[in-house]
């Protein structure tokens, strides 16, 4: 089993396991966290299990190409969300991020803190050239997070997100290894 942890000042990112099923199901079942997400609310825990079984299997590969982390709040290691990091081919030297934070922890800086740490991990540990993200154009909270860490809005994909409210445009963001970025605050070990 791979052990990959990314510490921040207030959280730790750890690869998910099947033991996280109930917490992930609760997160996916919240209407407010589903508003700008294309996954949809699962009909039952078995549907969530099918989704995370694939994520857990990908996390267990020798050379991980699609990380799925749980975000744990310190010091109790309380589950507060998920963070995904998909790597493209070595030739392209880039990754794509996504995150989903439990609504009880919104507007407290956790998403910004965690994203900054994952960007550092991508550039400093994985030697990537580019990290990108997409965001529904009405998702003001995520737009602020992406811009706070130094990601640049590059464009707009027209009606590419099938949301419950209908088709949504998507802003495309990226940051390059040479761009100025907000340095994450790594927890002293």
Would you state the structure tokens that stand for residue 60, as one six-digit string?
A: 């267990």
Residue that wins the pLDDT comparison between 111 and 39:
111
Q: How high is the pLDDT of residue 184?
A: 56
For the cut 50, the answer to whether the pLDDT of residue 189 exceeds it is no
Question: DSSP character for 164?
Answer: T
The boundaries of the domain holding residue 14 are: 5-130
Confidence at 81, pLDDT banded by 50, 70, 90: very high
> Does 161 reside within a domain?
no
Does 174 map to a domain?
Answer: no
Per-residue pLDDT reduced to its tens digit, 24-73: 999 999 999 888 888 888 999 999 999 999 999 999 888 899 999 999 99
DSSP 8-class letter at 122: I
Instruction: For residue 116, tell me if it sits in a domain.
Output: yes
The answer as to whether 88 is a domain residue is yes
The answer to whether residue 36 sits within a structural domain is yes
> Is residue 47 domain-resident?
yes
Helix (H) / strand (E) containing 111 = helix 110-120
Tokens of 110: 């956790």
Task: Give bridge partners of residue 81 from the DSSP assignment.
Answer: 71, 101
Is 181 domain-assigned?
Answer: no
Instruction: Check pLDDT > 90 for residue 106.
Output: yes
Domain containing residue 17: CATH number? 3.40.630.30
Whole-structure pTM value: 0.91
Is 146 domain-assigned? Answer: no
Please enumerate in sequence order all residues whose Cβ is within 8 A of that of 109, keeping only pairs 6 or more positions apart, or say none: none
Mean pLDDT of the chain: 92
Helix axes 21-29, 45-59, angle to 10 degrees: 120
pLDDT tens, residue by residue, 144-185: 999 999 999 999 999 999 888 899 999 999 999 999 877 555
Q: Residue 48: helix, strand or coil by DSSP?
A: helix
Task: Provide the pLDDT for residue 23.
Answer: 96
Q: Domain total for the chain?
A: 1
Query: First vs last Cα of the chain: how many Å apart?
Result: 22
């Amino acid at each position: 089993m791979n052990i990959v942890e990314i510490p921040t000042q207030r959280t730790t990112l750890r690869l998910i396991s099947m033991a996280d099923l109930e917490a992930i199901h609760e997160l996916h079942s919240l209407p407010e966290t589903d508003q700008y997400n294309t996954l949809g609310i699962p009909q039952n825990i078995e549907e969530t299990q099918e989704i995370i079984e694939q994520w857990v299997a990908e996390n267990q590969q020798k050379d991980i190409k699609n990380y799925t982390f749980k975000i744990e709040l310190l010091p109790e290691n309380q589950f507060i969300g998920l963070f995904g990091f998909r790597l493209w081919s070595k030739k392209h030297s880039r990754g794509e991020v996504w995150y989903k934070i439990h609504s009880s922890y919104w507007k407290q800086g956790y998403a910004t803190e965690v994203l900054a740490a994952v960007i550092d991990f991508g550039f400093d540990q994985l030697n990537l050239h580019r990290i990108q993200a997409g965001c529904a154009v009405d998702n003001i909270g995520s737009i602020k997070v992406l811009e706070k860490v130094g990601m640049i809005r590059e464009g707009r994909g027209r009606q590419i997100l099938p949301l419950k409210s209908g088709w949504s445009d998507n802003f495309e963001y990226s940051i390059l290894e040479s761009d100025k970025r907000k340095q994450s605050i790594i927890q002293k070990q």
